[in-house]
Amino acid sequence: MPLTTYWLEHAWLDTNVEPGTALDVSADGRIAAVRTGVETPPPGAVVLRGLTIPGLANAHSHAFHRALRGTVQVGSGTFWTWREIMYTVAQRLSPDSYFTLARAVYAEMALAGVTAVGEFHYLHHAPGGDRYDDPNAMGEALIAAAGEAGIRITLLDTAYLSSGFGAAPERHQLRFTDGTAERWAERVSALKESDTVRIGAAIHSVRAVPADQLSTVARWAQDRQAPLHVHLSEQTAENEACLAAHGMTPTRLLAEHGVLGPRTTGVHNTHLTDEDIALIGGSATGTCMCPTTERDLADGIGPAVALQRAGSPLSLGSDSHAVVDLLEEARAMELNERLRTRTRGHWTAAALLRAATADGHAALGRPDAGVLEPGAPADFATITLDSVRTAGPAARLGAETAVFAATAADVRHVVVGGRTVVRDGAHVSVPDTGEALATAIAALRS
């Protein structure tokens, strides 16, 4: 079987930076061998200068929110006023326009070193709630968009049934709902997986899925050993409404209905009690932090340190895409905690990179990804170490440089499944990604 050899000037191998590493990639797109101490590039090797890390995992995305960037920065407000603007964009999307937008958004992610995305997808039907001829037309558009942008996708098809604790959906939410969890399960079961596509499930939130239907979604995921994600305690208002409706916190409600567990990830997990943290950690439920969105929407700073100590693996997501930069998400998680506690050093750079790579991929149902090891998918990104942001530190401090100094603009090369997606800072199949984004977003305003 023919091999492609990549010579990595510096490689992050989980705990340390190794200079002169040769990576052999087999024809099936997986890493066949990792050889350290290779001082010069072998004949015919693809040379990658800088620091090569495993591909980043964006564990929480709403692709259509990218159209809100800038627009929602005018004036003031809260999460709830932001949501009203979001609804207006959601109403304008069709399968074709969603494909065009998502293709550009996923290309932007690839340029930032992201090789897999978890798309928390609830924009299912036509405006007014009528089903398309293909009930999964919107989800299929996202899958096709990720394929053209060259990244892997876990489509987290989302149950969204209520405007709040059993209340009927509001007008803007009609295209989100399948009516019942059983009808949601019937629709999502028609979606197909491939090497680059995983199908997972999501509960939008405890306010959007009635308590007596939570277990239906959880069972669907359990039967397929699929990842299950849920927005959890992002807002104090949600907690208060849940206490009023059920006499318990959202976390306790999810636990009572079998939602928590090692294949489940709570997104945000911001406003939690000590009991909530113990329930999440004790069940090995993951936590996906989205710091740039959480600060953009003034949501608050979640107890990430306490969650991880309790047993909850941490992953990262760009969520509303106020910024698409997983290095910034990793940096922000640490810096937020510094501001909250007025102490430094809650995570090492290596731990933050693991949240952005291996633990993120595991949250998306790809536990073999996110490492530079034989047998793993050949998904990796190279960060320059000689830009105005990254120049200066010793190469052995590459992890610290990547997390605390680099940005998405410092990603130079990206390989997914052994195929080059980004070369010299340009996307191979979406060469003018900025123009593609501008055109797709302008079409939604016309």
- What distance in Å separates the CA atoms of residue 259 and residue 228, rounded to the nearest whole number? 8
Q: Token pair of 365, please?
A: 């149902």
Measuring CA to CA, which residue among 305, 294, 371, 378 is closest to residue 337?
Answer: 305
- What distance in Å separates the CA atoms of residue 365 and residue 157, rounded to the nearest whole number? 14
The beta-strand segments (E) located in 250-322 are: 264-268, 286-289, 314-316
Q: At what angle do helices 326-341 and 349-356 cross, to 10 degrees?
A: 130
Measured torsion, CA atoms of residues 258, 262, 263, 265, in degrees rounded to the nearest 10? 90
3-state secondary structure of 285: coil
Residue with tokens 């959906």: 169
DSSP-assigned states of every residue in 76-103:
---HHHHHHHHHHHHTT--HHHHHHHHH
Q: Token pair of 168, please?
A: 């009927």
- What distance in Å separates the CA atoms of residue 113 and residue 391, rounded to the nearest whole number? 19
Give the active site residue among 319, 359, 379, 410.
319
Q: Is 157 a catalytic residue?
A: no
Residues with Cβ within 8 Å of residue 72, at least 6 apart in sequence: 82, 85, 86
3-state secondary structure of 25: strand
Neighbour count for residue 392 (Cβ, 10 Å): 11
| Amino acid (one-letter) located at 91 | Q
3-state secondary structure of 436: helix
Q: Residue 339: CA atoms inside 13 Å, Cβ hemisphere, count? A: 11
Report H helices in 270-397: 274-282, 291-296, 304-310, 326-341, 349-356, 358-363
- What distance in Å separates the CA atoms of residue 169 and residue 175, rounded to the nearest whole number? 9
Give the active site residue among 268, 321, 361, 427.
268
Q: Is 379 a catalytic residue?
A: no
Distance of CA 126 to the CA centre of its chain: 25
| Per-residue burial over 320-350, b = 16 or more CB atoms within 10 Å of its CB, e = otherwise | bbbbbbbbbbbbbbbebbeeeeeeeebbebe
Q: Give me the active site residues, please.
A: 268, 319
